[in-house]
Amino acid sequence: MNSKKTTFPKEIFRYLILSVVSGGVLFLLLFLGNQALYHQVIQPQMEKKDLSEATEEFQAFVTQQEASSSSRFTWRSSDGAVFYLRNNSGNGNEPKFHKEPEGPMDERRPLGTEKETNITYSDGQTATTFLVVENRWIMYIGIVASVVLGLIFALVLFYRQLLNKAKYMHQIEKGTIILEAGDLDYRIAEEGHDELTQIAASINKMSQSLSEKIILEAKATQTSREIISDLSHDIRTPLTILSGYLPVLLDTDLTEEQRKYLNLIHKKTQQMNNRVNDLLEYATIFSGQRPLELQMIDSRMLFEQFITELMPIAEVTYELDIPAQAKIVGDMSLLERLFDNLISNINQHAELEEGVTIQIQPQEDQLHVLIKNKVAKSDSSIGKSLGVKISAMIAELHQGQMISTLTGETYQTELVLPIKFEK
């Protein structure tokens, strides 16, 4: 593993830091923009508007009171936004209110800006100074909005980064499903530098390696099939000649010892011929060159035929619990070969005096067959013949299975075949 690559938890932490920093930068930009907008545009406009309205209101107050420029009084606008400070009449008037508003509520108001305008008093027009209180609620709203938008931006950015990782995880899962289905040429996109990318890269390497091994195994298997097929044909030629000449030799004048040896040779030649035929059939079935000729087969009839052919060899105890509607979809000739191999295996290796027990029962959509017999203690070759392997292969071709086990002196064969029930 590359130590420079960031692990997945650290990658998430990095996303979090990046989102927080990005949200903080956005908040700072919005905060500075809000301050500039408030102090340069909004507040001056509000002060101008408040002062204009307050001037008209103060002028009406002075006119109603017939106040002179030397009068002493405290005044503020009806909305509390503008306060009277002083006038510049030069008469030494010292206003009661100076710099700070009076009263508990007024003391909590922020100070503002002094603005000067002309007011007409009873003794003439005089320049008058007002305090326009700064209303910062708009600025505070802007600050809160900046905080909220920065936080939302950070959360959305972090969520999108996590969402991208979740999508990538789904992409990896989808890729594994495609590879599991058998498409080993599919490759998962390698994005980023975290553990998910390492997993995707490992899966891609694994699928590539597996694909290469399958190709090599397929070539090796094809080579083996060709060797077996060629070897079988090469051996059959001299065996055919031997099988043809030996009966002729046995009909000639021979001594007892010569006839004994020729009969033994003839017997072994026939056995070799059977083995070569089995080997050739195994290679043919294994290579898939023999297509299945499927048909609906009466399963009860098939197993009755098997038991009938087995009875002359050994005493058979059986349970045949097969409904008449149960059918096997299969190749009749291959299934007959399967049961012929089972009978041959029992005939060669079983203690025939002990008998054979057969149980046949349907379970859901499968037919379960259990065959038990005893074998000679000295016989260790049972279940290892090519005929048994061919039978197991035929069962697999029919979407079933055949398993043979030897426990002590008991040899057991379990055969499972799929069935369908006709309505």
Dihedral angle over CA of 338, 347, 310, 306, nearest 10: 0
pLDDT the model gives residue 105: 41
pLDDT at 176 over 80: yes
Where does the chain hold its CATH 1.10.287.130 domain(s)? Answer: 184-290
- Which residues, including other chains, have CB under 8 Å from residue 292's CB and lie 6 or more apart? 330, 331, 334, 397, 398
pLDDT at 275 over 80: no
First to last CA, the chain: 60
Report the SS3 class of residue 61: helix
What one-letter code names the amino acid at 245? Y
Where does the chain hold its CATH 3.30.565.10 domain(s)? Answer: 294-421
User: What does DSSP assign to residue 108?
Assistant: T
pLDDT the model gives residue 289: 60
Tell me the mean pLDDT in the region 235-260.
80
pLDDT the model gives residue 270: 78
Report the SS3 class of residue 120: strand
Nearest to 373 by CA among 416, 337, 335, 342: 342
pLDDT at 106 over 70: no
Q: How confident is the model at residue 284 (pLDDT cuts 50, 70, 90)?
A: low
Tell me the mean pLDDT in the region 403-411.
82
pLDDT at 316 over 90: no
H helical segments located in 181-255:
195-250
* Distances from the Cα of 128 to the Cα of 184, 373, 402, angstroms: 91, 126, 113
pLDDT the model gives residue 148: 93
pLDDT the model gives residue 149: 92
Architecture of domain 184-290: Orthogonal Bundle (1.10)
Q: Regarding the domain delimited by 294-421, which CATH topology (the fold level of the hierarchy) does it fall under?
A: Heat Shock Protein 90 (3.30.565)
Q: Tell me the pLDDT tens digit for each residue of 32-54.
A: 998 888 888 888 888 889 889 99
pLDDT the model gives residue 381: 54
Top pLDDT among 407 and 233 is at 407
Supply the mean pLDDT for the chain: 80
pLDDT the model gives residue 147: 92
The alpha carbon dihedral of 296, 298, 304, 305 has a sign of negative
- What is the C-alpha to C-alpha distance for residues 419 and 401, in angstroms, rounded to an integer? 13
pLDDT at 358 over 60: yes
